[in-house]
């Protein structure tokens, strides 16, 4: 029998509806794969086999009754940031020890309503703060990819490192993820998977543990462009429980695949050619340009002059919002409590023990930039710069550009416990240099695998679109995917 975990969502959907396979078999195949691989990969921090089998059984019954949903019987992994009723939801933090919410996030509820099966909760950087999945309380995730001829462990990227690794290692058919500064697109690029951060407001943030509320968006990580389109269709909705949820119908993203690029204008921003960028990233970008040209798109050079200020502005705005959002973890209502001599001592000891180093660092920066006397110089200035970053994109789109093509990351996956990166937080932050602008402007961004570097590691290209034009990204990414092919790691685990 063929390995059922190798089926894409689209392929599994077909076999399930033709009754060639059963949802229970598919789920069991994934549960066995997780059991065998997770000790090495550490992608899952909680596996829910009973729940998965129960959901799969219900899927088989609905398929038999002719009542199958759009994701009927498809086994998914869920980032630990999404609230799942009575199931481990800890944002990979010690401070949320034992937290089992009594409610379900809108995004995951949408998936279950469409018949999807939950395999478990996926590892991530603590509170989604990180670019390597090394800030997790549950330890780092191993990238299923290794450099050719090397046994060295690599990071899967972050913060959705568990999601990306689980998809790449065939430990789920697809995964939910979230992206505040690049946390879907960078791990997708590091693992040869497809990830899309939709427009701000497209997926409900209700029940998603908040990091930086004006930047956070949920999206899928999948094996290919079609699967990402299928997943986003189910994840996205209009939700009265999130006041920033946008009241627009969710299109059939899959229908955009295969549409022609003739007459499309693709912008190439000169500011994304940064100092010290490896030649092979530039070469990959040129290859992407050539593929889109061959497909009939017109290539235009554009300028986004405030690009270099996006990352510094992000490291004011996101910690500021985080310091406010994470104030709720005080040892009173949920999670960890460390007793103290009075209530303030209890707060301080709980937060000192419960938060990891990177989370503390960001809370401290956020508290400082919002404190009396510094608000105008830092926070207000950053919010004004954010307006300028968004305006750069608006000017490009108003001049007739339909989508923008850039590299997804400045390098391929790097090593676990990289000493340079550990010694200098700013160096780690530079990983998000190409992705963070998109969050600042609230735009949709998609990362699609486009090739391998000289070490045999995957590299991605990023497509940026106009607000709520995710369809344009899917059809363009589909062209790149067809030209580049798909990439899977050699199994070592």
Partner 1 sequence: MSVDLATVKRVARLARIAVSEEEANRMTGELNGILGFVEQLSEVNVDGVEPMTSVTPMEMRKREDIVNDGNKADDIVANAPASDRNFFQVPKVVE
**Residues of span 217-246 touching partner 1 by CB under 8 A:** 240, 243-246
* 59 near partner 1 (CB under 8 A): no
Interatomic CA distance for residues 216 and 208, integer angstroms: 9
How many Cβ atoms are within 10 Å of 8's Cβ, its own excluded? 17
Query: What are the distances in angstroms from CA 402 to CA 259, 283, 298, 396?
Result: 14, 23, 10, 9
Closer of 40 and 327 to partner 1 (Cβ)? 327
**Residue where the block lists tokens 């830092």:** 378
* 180 near partner 1 (CB under 8 A): no
Closer of 309 and 397 to partner 1 (Cβ)? 309
159 among known catalytic residues:
yes
* 198 near partner 1 (CB under 8 A): no
Q: Of residues 251, 312, 410, 456, which one binds partner 1 by CB under 8 A?
A: 312
Cβ neighbors of 109 (< 8 A, separation 6 or more) are 207
Query: What are the distances in angstroms from CA 344 to CA 210, 222, 361, 372, 428?
Result: 24, 45, 20, 21, 33
* 467 near partner 1 (CB under 8 A): yes
Binding part of the chain for partner 1, among 4-12, 48-56, 113-121, 310-318 by CB under 8 A, reads 310-318
Q: Of residues 31, 33, 212, 441, which one binds partner 1 by CB under 8 A?
A: 441
* 417 near partner 1 (CB under 8 A): no
Q: How far is the CB of 430 from partner 1 (least distance, A)?
A: 9
* 388 near partner 1 (CB under 8 A): yes
197 among known catalytic residues:
no
Tokens matching residue 316: 């004011």
Q: Which of 22, 79, 121, 466 does the annotation list as catalytic? A: 79
* 398 near partner 1 (CB under 8 A): no
Q: How far is the CB of 473 from partner 1 (least distance, A)?
A: 17
* 488 near partner 1 (CB under 8 A): no
* 57 near partner 1 (CB under 8 A): no
Binding part of the chain for partner 1, among 122-130, 143-151, 226-234, 370-378 by CB under 8 A, reads 370-378
Q: How far is the CB of 388 from partner 1 (least distance, A)?
A: 6
Closer of 278 and 425 to partner 1 (Cβ)? 425
Applying CB under 8 A, what is the total number of residues that bind partner 1? 75
Q: Of residues 87, 382, 405, 450, which one binds partner 1 by CB under 8 A?
A: 382
**Residues 14-43: x/- map of binding to partner 1 (CB under 8 A)?**
------------------------------
Closer of 266 and 363 to partner 1 (Cβ)? 363
Closer of 301 and 342 to partner 1 (Cβ)? 342
**Residues of span 79-98 touching partner 1 by CB under 8 A:** 98
183 among known catalytic residues:
yes
Q: Which of 183, 234, 245, 318 does the annotation list as catalytic? A: 183
| Buried residues in 136-161 as b, exposed as e (16+ CB within 10 A) | bbbebbbbbbbbeeeeeebbbbbbbb
CB burial class (10 A; 0-12, 13-18, 19+) of residue 51?
A: middle
Binding part of the chain for partner 1, among 227-235, 291-299, 313-321, 410-418 by CB under 8 A, reads 313-321
Q: Which of 159, 204, 237, 412 does the annotation list as catalytic? A: 159
Interatomic CA distance for residues 360 and 363, integer angstroms: 5
**Residues of span 242-281 touching partner 1 by CB under 8 A:** 243-247
Interatomic CA distance for residues 348 and 339, integer angstroms: 10
Q: How far is the CB of 381 from partner 1 (least distance, A)?
A: 5
Interatomic CA distance for residues 172 and 111, integer angstroms: 14
**Residues of span 339-368 touching partner 1 by CB under 8 A:** 339-340, 342-349, 351-352, 355, 360-361, 363-365, 367-368
How many Cβ atoms are within 10 Å of 39's Cβ, its own excluded? 9
Q: How far is the CB of 150 from partner 1 (least distance, A)?
A: 31
**Residues 95-124: x/- map of binding to partner 1 (CB under 8 A)?**
---xxxxxx---------------------
Tokens matching residue 416: 């676990």
Question: Catalytic amino acids?
Answer: 79, 159, 183
């Amino acid at each position: 029998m063929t390995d059922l975990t190798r089926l894409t969502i689209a392929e599994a959907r077909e076999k399930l509806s033709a009754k060639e396979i059963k949802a229970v078999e598919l789920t069991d195949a994934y549960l066995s794969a997780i059991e065998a691989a997770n000790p090495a990969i550490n992608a899952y921090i909680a596996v829910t086999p009973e729940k998965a089998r129960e959901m799969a059984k219900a899927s088989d019954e609905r398929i038999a009754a002719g009542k199958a949903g759009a994701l009927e019987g498809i086994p998914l992994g869920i980032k630990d940031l999404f609230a799942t009723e009575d199931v481990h939801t800890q944002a990979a933090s010690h401070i949320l020890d034992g937290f089992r919410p009594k409610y379900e996030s809108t995004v995951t509820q949408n998936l279950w309503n469409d018949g999807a099966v939950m395999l478990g909760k996926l590892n991530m950087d603590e509170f989604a703060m990180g670019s390597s999945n090394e800030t997790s309380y549950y330890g780092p995730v191993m990238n299923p990819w290794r450099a050719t001829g090397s046994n060295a462990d690599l990071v899967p990227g972050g913060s959705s490192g568990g999601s990306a690794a689980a998809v790449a290692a065939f430990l789920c058919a697809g995964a939910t993820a979230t992206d505040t500064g690049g946390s879907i697109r960078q791990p997708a690029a590091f693992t040869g998977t497809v990830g899309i951060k939709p427009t701000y407001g497209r997926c409900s943030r209700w029940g998603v543990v908040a990091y930086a509320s004006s930047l956070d968006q949920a999206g899928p990580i999948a094996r290919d462009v079609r699967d990402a389109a299928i997943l986003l269709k189910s994840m996205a909705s209009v939700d009265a429980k999130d006041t920033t949820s946008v009241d627009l119908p969710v299109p059939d993203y899959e229908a955009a695949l295969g549409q022609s690029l003739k007459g499309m204008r693709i912008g190439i921003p000169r500011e994304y050619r940064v100092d010290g960028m490896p030649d092979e990233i530039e070469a990959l970008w040129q290859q992407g340009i050539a593929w889109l040209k061959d497909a009939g798109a017109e290539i235009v050079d554009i300028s986004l002059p405030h690009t270099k200020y996006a990352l510094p502005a992000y490291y004011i705005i996101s910690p500021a919002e985080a310091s406010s959002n994470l104030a709720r973890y005080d040892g009173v209502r949920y999670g960890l409590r460390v007793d103290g001599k009075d209530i303030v001592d209890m707060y301080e000891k709980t937060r000192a023990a419960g938060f990891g180093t990177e989370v503390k660092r960001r809370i401290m920066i956020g508290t400082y930039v919002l404190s009396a006397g510094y608000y105008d110089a830092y926070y207000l200035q950053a919010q004004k710069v954010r307006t300028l970053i968004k305006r750069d994109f608006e000017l490009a789109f108003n001049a007739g550009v339909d989508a923008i093509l850039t590299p997804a990351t400045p390098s391929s996956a790097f090593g676990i416990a990289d000493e340079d990166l550990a010694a200098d937080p700013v160096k780690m932050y530079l990983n998000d240099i190409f992705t963070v602008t998109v969050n600042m402007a609230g735009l949709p961004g998609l990362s699609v695998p486009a090739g391998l570097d000289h070490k045999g590691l995957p590299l991605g290209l990023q497509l940026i679109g106009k607000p709520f034009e995710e369809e344009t990204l899917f059809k363009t990414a589909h062209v790149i995917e067809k030209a580049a092919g798909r990439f899977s790691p050699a199994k070592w685990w």
